[in-house]
Structure 1
Amino acid sequence: MRIGAHVDPVDPLAGAAARQADAVQFFLTDPQGYKTPQPRPDAEALRASDVEVYIHAPYIVNVATLNNRIRIPSRKLMMAHAKAAADLGAQGLIVHGGHVGGGADLDAGFANWRKAFQYAESDGGLPLPILIENTAGGDNAMARTFDHLARLWDAVGEFGAGFCLDTCHAHAGGEELLGIVDRVKSITGRIDLIHANDSKDGFDSGRDRHDNIGSGKIDPELVIAVIRAAGAPVIVETPGGADGQAADIALLRGRAGS
């Protein structure tokens, strides 16, 4: 079982070593900007490393929106980050499910996700899996509730979309963690990555605030049960820098692997 952390992009392998991590996740650019990723000097080292690499797309990517000024740049940015991530030997590109504006037709958002995959196919195809991540808030979100997730998968499942399950987002989004792996797999058929995060806020709060394992509102045994049931690689996106994340990794490795 590979367990790692979201780390600073400056030196991801050093970040992995500091946390005794088997995997790393990082951003290639400012997560709040539309900048195109540039070649990295450590690309060869990342490809050669035993540490698994995952890339997180910028938070601003929203391919579901009806706003052309956001959707079209988002679509192009997702493709650019996918190509850059593949150049690093990454296992996948994590992209939030996104949302449509208040009062908008949710079906249009699901259709826009489908168009994003069709756009990628017309641009030479995706060089690695897009791992759609469930989100914590928003009534018009594509992947907060699993009834919406099912409709999203009806639109994109045939394109080989992958899934990233975030435990904090599920809890804050109103989805019980007990039995969640079976419920997700009944929709997507797969879980490619777990974001193992505790939550500072209560169930169905809609608030995306991560906490260290056992320090927030989620019973750590539920997080461990999710990891065991999913059998997928794990990334912690928890506070406390290298020390805090190393403690979370050690706890999960010791408990989930036992």
Structure 2
Amino acid sequence: MFGFGKKKQEEVARADTEKVEEPENPSPEQEAALDESADKATGPTSDDTPVVFSREDGPWDISEKSTGHQYIDLGGLFIKSNPGLNLRLEADTKSQQVIAVTLQMGEGSLQVQAFAAPKSRGIWEDIRHELSESVRQQGGQVEFSDGAFGRQLITRVPAELPDGRKGFRIARFVGIDGPRWFVRGVFSGKAVLPGQDASALEEVLRNIVVNRGSKPMAPRDLLPMRVPQNIQEAAAQQQAAAHEGDSSKPSLEVPRRGPEITEIG
């Protein structure tokens, strides 16, 4: 399903150093379960042992992977279709440009953004250090661990729950350095912790193809994204498949405004 959320572009572009973002709000029951699991965690609070991640299984650069009808073309990102996968596009309030995509499967969600990066080195190590400092300044907690994409952060930031109680927003941040690009993923809901929802969305992230383009861009600039040109056709195909009883295709709708990204802090 496609939907639109709105957010100022400059706030999203600086989110790795200023704000913690969580694309979806877990239910009170999910929040309680995540809090209980996080309380039991004993992960390190420092990043003294960086882990180098190899992209042998993706995400891919456009020069490494061919994209066909199975992929949804968002411009800077290509998302592979997957049964049960819902997509929501986040748009800049003023320019209406697409600046992020949120992918949801089951009870987990994953927000993905792609940025330009220097040719000579990756930027994830710098960004995760900046992010950890930002979280601590907000009164939150940070745990570093090794995950499917190398070094990752699990963050817990004080926030008011939907029912008014005080609690935490929990998110898992991963970063992948590619050739002149960087992809940041933010897992929320049940995808924060190991399990079926996390594994499914991690596979979605591995299958992403990044189209950096050849134009000069400053490091950390967002790669431009767009609404798929064939979205009307995709929606028509989805409706036809529904009439024929074929549920193997992902749910697609004409873009509309959806929930905004929740800022924490």
TM-score exceeds 0.5: no
Between 1 and 2, higher relative CO (CA 8 Å, sep ≥ 6) is seen in 2
TM-score, normalization: structure 2?
Answer: 0.28
Kindly indicate which of the two structures has a greater share of residues assigned to helix: 1
Kindly indicate which of the two structures has a greater share of residues assigned to strand: 2
TM-score, normalization: structure 1?
Answer: 0.28
Larger radius of gyration: 2
